[in-house]
Amino acid sequence: MTDRRTLRLLGASVAALPLLTLLFLPIRTIDDAFITFRYARNLASGNGLVFNLGERVEGVTSLSWTLLLAAVETLRLPVEPAAFALGVAFALLALRESYLLGRGLGASAGACLAAVALVAVHGRFWLVAGNGLEGGLFAFLAVLVARKTIEEADARLIGVLLGLLFMTRPESLLVLLVVLGYQVLAKGAADERAGVVRRASLIAVAAAVVLGAVTIWRLAYYGAPLPNSVAAKSALSAGLDTLLANLGPGLLYTVRFEIAHAPLILGAAIALILAPKAKALWFCLLLVAAELPAVFVNGGDWMPHYRLLTVFAPVLAAPLAVCLSRAFEDWDTPGSARRRSAWVLALLTVSAVVMLSRSPWEATPGPRFTFHPITSCYQFMATRLKPHLASDDIAAAEAVGLFGWILDETTIHDPLGLTSAHHARHGDYHLNWGKTDYDHLHQVRPAVLVLHEGSVVTPGKIDRGTGGRFARDYSAWFVSQQPPCAPYRLIVYIDNDRLDRLRPALDGLTIEPLPAG
């Protein structure tokens, strides 16, 4: 048995692993994070929780994360590094909760530390936690809900936590059903049914208070019960054929996640084989599975590192700890038990090596904070355009995050619908990228539209969607600028009525006219 002093030493070592891991990872703030930053800045400045002044559209998915960053802006702290630091801090808290959850499931302290250490050195988890979005916060809340539920903590606390989880990601409403189901099914026949029903009711009421308050506020402020970003990216309004078409990509996304996180999945599966009647283990896995309907409906996600599911790694580490605990016990027993333990540990070790080897490691220590080349393109073009835009101009772009963050005093039109209610409700569906109404894009008449080669919004679609009217009213060029855009080319449309004023933004750049048709 591991003594206390050794456990403390191991615990300190595990706590240091994330910081070491982050030194060898390319940290990228995802473009969508800057949408959240702009909402947070407008709220902190007294302009409301909006992307464009005077336009009440909820283009962010995570209300709780946006409010937290608004507090950062109120304190006049730099929001981008603060978002990274907060994401990592919440992820660290998630690891602590993962350890406690494993202990609550009956795993040994050493096994819990080993399982948590695997997540602590998993590069994908930290890249999701540190990308500027709500990943770290959601990971912490999810594993905290799991632990408090299994430990039978105060029912009202669990309900409030479920409400916060909903505010962080709306699709986590399904977690409430999993928690309520566990309350009813986890009790034995000897337990009083009235007590079980009372506890489940308290959880449901506490959660409903938070959900109801948030929903009433959304209806009053935005006129919609869910974020506009959900409407823009969801296939629910696109018809049954689209939903069925999304099942394939969603399933592929799930399988690839499982392969990329093989030791966590295998550990959970082995734990269930060893203890098939352990309802708490099933609860942990069903909590993760509650995200799958969103994955299947949306056909996965365009963001890297399987971010919809990777946030559940701390939850999955707890069943892995149970598996490891049993394997460590069997190792001390000669004969078939030891041989079984050897096979289990070998399988988990090999899968862990494969998982970690596929993380996007850097050869030398950092830290490195970078943007994706496409994001850098939009940053570059927004910087070029800013001096030439008038106060009443509208600028549009396929990627509106960093583009709109730089053009902070300009109205930004989003042709993919995250911050445009019209596109989200009436546009053509483009998988998990958003929805576009090309005729409406032309009616908005942006002074400039910026796209990139390979984007969802293409010149051909614009021409077909507007009957050629857009090509008639705009001049367009390919912009090849290396760096910062390599290997991509931007496509820049400028309204002919404002051509004399905005065309100088392209002076000195490598450009060529966009071919007609």
Q: Which helix (H) or strand (E) is 240 found in, with range?
A: helix 240-260
Q: Return the pLDDT at 459.
A: 92
474 phi, psi to nearest 5 deg? -130, 150
Q: Is the peptide bond before 276 cis (omega within 30 degrees of 0)?
A: no
Region 441-470: mean pLDDT is 93
> In this structure, which amino acid lies at residue 142?
A
The Cα-based distances of 67 to 36, 48, 70, 440 in angstroms read 9, 11, 5, 31
Higher pLDDT, 430 or 419: 419
Longest alpha-carbon distance in the chain: 85
- State whether the Cα torsion 235-142-146-110 is positive or negative: positive
How confident is the model at residue 370, as a pLDDT?
Answer: 81
Question: From CA 457, how far away is CA 440, in angstroms rounded?
Answer: 13
Positive or negative, the CA dihedral 412, 417, 421, 427 is positive
Nearest by Cα to 509 from 388, 382, 381: 381
Q: Does the pLDDT at position 2 exceed 60?
A: no
Share of the chain above pLDDT 90, in %: 76
* pLDDT for 3 beyond 90: no
Three-state DSSP state, 510: strand
What pLDDT does 369 receive? 80
Two structure tokens written together for 142: 């999810």
CB 372 within 8 Å of CB 29:
no
HSE-up (13 A, CA, CB side) for residue 431: 16
Count of residues for the chain?
517
pLDDT at 187: 66
Q: Label residue 128 by pLDDT band (50, 70, 90).
A: very high
Give the pLDDT confidence score for residue 359 in this predicted structure: 86
Half-sphere exposure of 145 (CA within 13 A, CB side): 33
pLDDT reported for residue 192: 67
Q: Is the pLDDT of residue 449 over 70?
A: yes
Angle between helix axes 135-150 and 63-74 (nearest 10 degrees) is 120
What average pLDDT does range 289-296 have in this prediction? Answer: 95
Report the first-to-last Cα separation within the chain, whole angstroms: 74
Closest CA to 155 of 91, 95, 206, 208: 206
CB atoms within 10 A of CB 297: 19
List the domain boundaries for the chain. Answer: 30-357, 373-513
Q: What is the pLDDT of residue 1?
A: 44
Average pLDDT, integer, range 218-240: 88
Q: Is the pLDDT of residue 428 over 50?
A: yes
Q: Please say whether the beta carbons of 235 and 299 come within 8 A.
A: yes
The arithmetic mean of pLDDT across residues 230-239, rounded, is 82
Give mean pLDDT, residues 309-320. 97
Are 227 and 170 in contact, with CB atoms under 8 Å apart?
Answer: yes
Of 274, 355, 257, nearest to 312 by C-alpha is 257
Which amino acid belongs to residue 133?
A: L
Distance CA 82, CA 101 (A): 28
Tell whether the model's pLDDT for residue 164 goes beyond 80: yes
Helix axes 373-385, 31-44, angle to 10 degrees: 50
pLDDT by residue (tens digit) across 186-200?
765 545 667 788 899
**How many other CB atoms are found less than 10 A from the CB of residue 19?**
13
Can you tell me which residue has the tokens 């506490």? Answer: 206
Rounded percentage of the chain residues whose pLDDT exceeds 70: 97
* Site of tokens 């850097």: 362
Q: Say how far apart CA 24 and CA 75 lie, in whole Å.
A: 31
Under a CB-based contact definition with an 8 Å cutoff, are residues 309 and 295 in contact?
yes
Q: Please, are residues 278 and 272 in contact by the beta-carbon 8 Å criterion? A: yes
Residue 190 to residues 178, 186, 193, 195, Cα–Cα distance (Å): 22, 12, 9, 11
How many Å apart are CA 441 and CA 417, to the nearest integer?
11
- Each residue's pLDDT tens digit, 49-99: 999 999 999 999 999 999 999 999 999 999 999 999 999 999 999 999 999
Going through 173-312 in order, the beta strands assigned E by DSSP cover: none
**Which DSSP category does 504 fall into?**
G
Reading the block at residue 12, the tokens are: 């300190």
Q: How far apart are CA 58 and CA 38, in angstroms?
A: 12
